[in-house]
Structure 1
């Protein structure tokens, strides 16, 4: 089987291997033996770093989701406000997540993996995403483009908003109706974010 290449930033061969396995057969049908074989390491090597497959998949999701979010953030451009960068980055991030092959596979085959992070607790990915949002929010407060407020609370509210669009957008869209397709709803997301952040 030809390995599936990824855009993750650290190039860890074990995380690459588990990604290939999950994309091929889903999480429930992936075993640590499969991952070890693909990565060219022993199972004991895996057990020294990860106690079980779920922990390994959790680290994979963290790597992939942070990579997606980081790539979605626009670079500063003279004449563009920090608020515009935040809004553009969040909308682009939702689009990128929804198109990401690993995200699509998990949603289609193993959606229960995502439930703890929706219903019970924040995961490492969410903590990292909140940290990514904090800096531009501080910058937006400083340049006056983002309404003053508690940075951590604002970051959490933004993440709640984009998380709902990422996970649930397809339940609300009718792709054969241009007024109710995903593009139209991403426009609504942009409006929500802009109005939320505007002073």
Structure 2
């Protein structure tokens, strides 16, 4: 199972993150203010500052929680490459359907570009680590091609991430089930021995 142990939050932190998510959905990334997050969470700004240095850090934590939450809610339906690819595609579909992720993609180009072109974020590292473990097990049973599992996991992440980010753009050509089918084909082809 893909691990999500790096992304657990206290009840107060969950309230703060819930408030941040609602702010992003209502106002967009650029207009999220720490004072509004605090008001919606029913906490003081110092309570937030004890946990995160600024609103962008709160949003990054909320995104990590969203992604790891999806991993937890979308269980594996078997062993090996095909089951792993099927789970990756289901996770990608659920993230694509997330109002929070959608709002970030629509209203936070600077935030998105940071994690597309400049550096990996916490949730990306969590995904790579979890995928690498699953890929190593699938390699041991012979359903995934040889290669460094971390490198393979990173390429899978790039492929799925790009699919999520561009899904709205290509929807008239390749939407819904068609996109899921082609992502499945692409990942199976890449990982097949």
TM norm. shorter chain > 0.5: yes
User: Counterparts in 2 of 1:9-88, with a 5 A limit?
Assistant: 10=9, 11=11, 12-76=14-78, 81-88=79-86
User: What RMSD, in angstroms, separates the aligned Cα atoms of the two structures?
Assistant: 1.8
- Who is 2:181 aligned against? 187
Note the alpha carbon deviations across 1:29-57, whole angstroms, 9 max, x for none.
Answer: 22111111121211111112111111111
- Who is 1:130 aligned against? 128
Larger radius of gyration: 1
- Who is 1:168 aligned against? 166
Measure how far apart 1:169 and its partner are. Answer: 2.4
Instruction: Kindly tell me the number of residue pairs found equivalent between the two proteins.
Output: 184
C-alpha separation in 1, matches of 2:80 and 2:76: 10
Superposition TM-score, scaled by structure 2 size: 0.87
C-alpha separation in 1, matches of 2:67 and 2:125: 11
Higher relative contact order (CA 8 A, sep 6+): 2
Measure how far apart 1:161 and its partner are. Answer: 0.8
- Structure 2, unaligned runs of 5 or more: 1-6
- Structure 1, unaligned runs of 5 or more: 1-7
Determine which structure has the larger helix proportion and give its number: 2
